């Protein structure tokens, strides 16, 4: 088994027909070293899994095979594709978003379309030469189907407006000349210098901002030496947020006016009551009516606006103006509070994105310069002052401080760091000034990986989401048809045409699928977001079900359940104090974990002046002269090589034998210490009814000892990576299995398990890449948190599905029988939707649970 996890790669392969595509797929699947080969004739995408180290070789083989079986096929590397990302706002509901996504998928050449209503994001992949055409079609479709939608290219959003106060310019002509000079600076745009208001503004990419500001100030100093420049506003105004707040205020005003008019229609009589009712209806519902007619124009009949408009028009036709106004009032109230709940969820998830560093202070030519983190290279030195975020992963080279890692791990306790300590990007410096040597580029940093996981957590839908999307497409047209049948049957049964129309309209209001299509994805969205704020990152909603159904948890020992800190557990010999002091003296200069454990166990002091002739013996141990004695400390072979008679110690652990002037003193037994929460982790999983097992590369005796201390169900030692995979596959036959590990050699078994859980803070990149779930603070107790949260997410989503469907079906039956009126229909629509959304928002409280 390769030590690398398999990764998924893509090629664009265009064939003449579906049969040709199937033929190509079979041929490529026959290449040894490839897995999960699939070729979609519709999207022209060939996907396959292979070892990253063999990717180039495999790509060449794939191309040769395709040319042999289908010479007419067109092949393009995925590098010729680009992924476009947009922010998309102004979409009314999840159902509208689903329909719009479906329309985008029909564009020729577009691939991997993902439109998230909750995150207000759109992404897709296309060929570079199709980019302009596809973006134009995307915008055209959005404008046609969702006129209020606003699409903003996120790459262009990297530009910000920088505003400065600039005073003491002699005249307007001087200002105009200076503006022209500033506009000549590379990568600057939209330069405006207002002489009257002493204001300079321009647009620039974030990564170029520092350079451009320096060049701007230099231009001003050369051309207007007396001018004074100061920063007026470094941040672009959050116009979208202000617009949302303004829209919310306007809606609240409409609700108040509409409610007042509605009450007047109830307490008055005659023409004034009719006018009040109609006025209330129009104030509250004009936008719903407009959207309904737009939808009809675009062929989208079965949406909530159409259903609500038809139902209330029918009430007006029946001259029940009060009911028409009341239905629209309570519909809009429900929508208002539903929007507030969804917005609260968005902001809660959005707060997780606050870990993104805005800048990095990099040392350049002896000066600290503010640059974009993506412009910093490994090896550069960055400075982090109190209150600032650590912009990139690195090692402290100067200074000491306490770091708040709550945004990464969910734990509020500060972490103290000093010189030579590793630090993670996204941490906040609480005190002290740090200088950090960058070890990873921004794209590979901890903060970038977290942001990527959070941003793409809803890229893969759960089964419940896919089910409800398909169900709603069948359900709504079916109910509309049933409404028509109800109107006809009720009329023919002698209740009259008006009663038939009334019951049919009640049907239409009840049939709105919003409660279904918003609450289910919001359940997963909120639950995954809540886990993220606790330092548990789940890579997709589709992984929640397997995680929730986990019956067996298999854990690696070293680095997962143990801390990597060794301690002296036992001293074998007649004089334990002498043995420990001698061993500490031998290990004085060593930074090996074993040496650190020995020195930590000795409570006395070793004087460096008493040491001489330090000699490291490869594969054996160390020798040193201490206070006139010649000391040896190491393994049994060191004793044998020096002709020292010793007694072999039969204890599980790492053994260090000690000799003094050729005489054997005794031995130290050291063991890797369990993490503080390891016992709690096993106990919590047992309390949930899960079996817990250990697999380890350490010998069976050490593994058994750890298993006994923790109380696990089984412990398997001496396991190589391939053995771990076989062991997990065997355990899988007994039920759904999760594997928890942290090292490079754990990557294959992480990928092989039903759910792979990686310890992320200190874990290897390969393990994190292969895992489905990443625990950022290496706390094994959070495995039970992840499983219990997954169960809760599924429970809440199922509650929403059952609640919404049952209430709607009951109300539909009551509506058909003439028992339910419009008020109950409104509850079945917006009331159920709001309750389902509020139920989903409870999942955000995962963040507050211990």
CA distance 47 to 208: 37
The gap between the terminal CA atoms of the chain, to the nearest Å, is 39
The yes-or-no answer on residue 556 being catalytic is: yes
Cα Dmax for the chain: 117
- C-alpha 614/C-alpha 196 separation (Å) is 77
* Bridge partners (DSSP) listed for residue 437: 381, 395
Smallest CA-to-CA distance from 425 within 379, 358, 348 is with: 358
What does the block give as tokens for 561? 């359940």
SS (H, E, C) 563-612: EEEEEEEEEEECCHHHHHHHHHHHCCCCCCHHHHHHHHHCCCCCCHHHEE
Tell how far CA 409 is from the center of its chain. 13
Tell me how far apart the alpha carbons of residues 477 and 307 are, in angstroms, rounded to a whole number: 11
Cα(803)–Cα(468) distance, integer angstroms: 13
Listed residue (716, 686, 672) closest to 783, CA to CA: 686
Say if residues 430 and 388 touch (Cβ distance below 8 Å).
no
Considering the candidates 556, 672, 698, 778, report the single residue annotated as catalytic: 556
Confirm if 447 and 426 have CB atoms less than 8 A apart. Answer: yes
CB 754 within 8 A of CB 739: no
CA distance 294 to 296: 5
Alpha helices in 697-781 (DSSP H): 700-710, 721-732, 747-752, 765-770
Q: What does R_g of the chain's alpha carbons equal in angstroms?
A: 34
CB proximity list for 124: less than 8 A, separation 6 or greater: 83, 84, 104, 110, 111, 112, 113, 114, 134, 138
CA–CA dist 238, 339 (Å, integer): 20
**Among all residues, which ones are annotated catalytic?**
556
């Amino acid at each position: 088994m390769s030590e690398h996890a398999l990764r998924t790669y893509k090629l664009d392969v265009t064939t003449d027909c579906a049969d040709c595509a199937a033929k190509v797929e079979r041929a490529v699947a026959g290449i040894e070293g490839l897995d999960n080969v699939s070729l979609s004739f519709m999207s022209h995408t060939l996907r396959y899994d292979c070892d990253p180290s063999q990717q180039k070789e495999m790509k060449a083989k794939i191309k040769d095979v395709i040319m042999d079986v289908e010479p007419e096929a067109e092949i393009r590397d995925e590098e010729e594709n680009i992924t476009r990302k947009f922010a998309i706002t102004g979409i009314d509901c999840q159902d509208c978003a689903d329909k719009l996504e479906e329309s985008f998928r029909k564009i020729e050449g577009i691939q991997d379309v993902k439109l998230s209503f909750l995150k207000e994001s759109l992404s897709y992949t296309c060929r570079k030469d199709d980019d302009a055409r596809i973006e134009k079609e995307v915008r055209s479709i959005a404008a046609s189907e969702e006129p209020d939608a606003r699409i903003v290219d996120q790459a262009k959003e990297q530009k910000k407006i920088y505003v400065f106060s600039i005073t003491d310019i002699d005249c307007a002509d001087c200002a105009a000349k200076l503006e022209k000079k500033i506009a000549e600076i590379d990568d600057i745009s939209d330069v405006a210098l207002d002489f009257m208001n002493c204001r300079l503004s321009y647009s620039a990419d974030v990564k170029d901002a520092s350079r451009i500001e320096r060049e701007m100030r230099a231009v001003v100093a050369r051309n207007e030496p007396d001018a004074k420049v100061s920063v007026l506003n470094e941040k672009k105004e959050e116009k979208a947020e202000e617009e949302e707040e303004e829209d919310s205020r306007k809606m609240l005003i409409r609700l108040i006016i509409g409610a007042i008019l509605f009450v007047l229609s109830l307490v008055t009589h005659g023409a004034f009551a009719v006018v009040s009712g109609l006025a209330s209806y129009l104030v509250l519902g004009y936008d719903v009516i407009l959207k309904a007619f737009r939808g009809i124009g675009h062929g989208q009949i079965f949406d909530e606006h159409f259903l609500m408009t038809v139902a209330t028009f029918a009430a007006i036709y029946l001259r029940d103006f009060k009911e028409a106004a009341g239905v629209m009032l309570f519909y809009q109230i429900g929508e208002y509070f539903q929007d507030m709940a969804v917005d609260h969820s968005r902001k809660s998830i959005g707060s997780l994105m606050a870990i993104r560093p805005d800048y990095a202070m990099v040392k350049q030519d002896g000066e600290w310069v503010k640059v974009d983190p993506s412009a910093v290279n490994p090896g550069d030195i960055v400075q982090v002052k109190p209150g600032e975020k650590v912009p990139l992963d690195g090692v402290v080279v100067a200074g000491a401080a306490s770091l708040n890692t709550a945004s990464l791990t969910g734990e509020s306790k500060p972490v103290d760091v000093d010189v030579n300590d590793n630090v993670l990007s996204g941490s906040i410096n609480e005190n002290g000034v740090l200088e950090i040597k960058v070890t990873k580029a921004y794209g590979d940093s901890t903060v970038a990986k977290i942001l990527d996981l959070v941003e793409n957590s809803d890229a893969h839908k759960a089964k419940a989401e896919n089910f409800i999307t398909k169900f709603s497409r069948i359900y709504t047209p079916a109910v509309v048809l049933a409404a028509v049948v109800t109107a006809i049957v009720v009329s023919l049964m002698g209740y009259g045409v008006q009663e038939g129309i009334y019951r049919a309209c009640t049907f239409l209001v009840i049939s709105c699928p919003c409660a279904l299509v918003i609450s289910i994805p919001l359940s997963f969205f909120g639950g995954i977001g809540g886990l993220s704020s606790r330092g548990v990152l789940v890579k997709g909603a589709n992984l929640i079900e397997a995680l929730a159904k986990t019956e067996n948890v298999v854990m690696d020992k070293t680095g997962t359940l143990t801390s990597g800190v060794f301690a002296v557990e036992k001293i074998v010999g007649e004089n334990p104090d002498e043995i420990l002091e001698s061993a500490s003296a031998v290990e004085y200069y060593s930074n090996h974990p074993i040496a650190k454990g020995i020195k930590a166990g000795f409570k006395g002091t070793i004087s460096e002046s008493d040491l001489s002739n330090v000699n490291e013996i490869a594969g054996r141990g160390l020798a040193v002269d201490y206070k006139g004695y010649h000391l040896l400390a190491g393994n049994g072979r060191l004793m044998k090589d020096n002709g020292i008679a010793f007694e072999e110690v039969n204890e599980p652990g790492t053994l260090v034998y000690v000799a003094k002037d050729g005489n054997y003193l005794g031995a130290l037994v050291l063991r890797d210490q369990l993490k503080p929460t390891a016992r709690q982790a096993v106990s919590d999983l047992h309390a949930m009814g899960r079996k817990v097992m250990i697999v380890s590369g350490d010998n069976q005796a050490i593994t058994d000892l750890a298993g006994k201390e923790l109380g696990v169900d089984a412990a398997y030692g001496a396991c190589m990576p391939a053995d771990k995979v076989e062991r997990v596959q065997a355990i899988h036959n007994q039920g759904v299995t999760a594997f928890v590990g942290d090292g490079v050699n754990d990557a294959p078994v992480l990928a092989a398990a039903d759910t792979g859980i990686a310890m992320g803070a200190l874990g290897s990149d390969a393990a994190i890449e292969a895992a489905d779930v990443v625990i950022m603070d290496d706390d094994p107790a959070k495995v039970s948190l992840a499983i219990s949260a997954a169960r809760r997410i599924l429970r809440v989503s199922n509650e929403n599905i059952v609640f919404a469907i049952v209430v709607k079906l009951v109300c539909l039956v009551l509506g058909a029988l003439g028992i339910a009126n419009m008020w109950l229909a409104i509850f079945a629509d917006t009331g159920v939707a709001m309750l389902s959304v509020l139920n989903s928002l409870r999942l955000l409280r995962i963040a507050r649970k211990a």
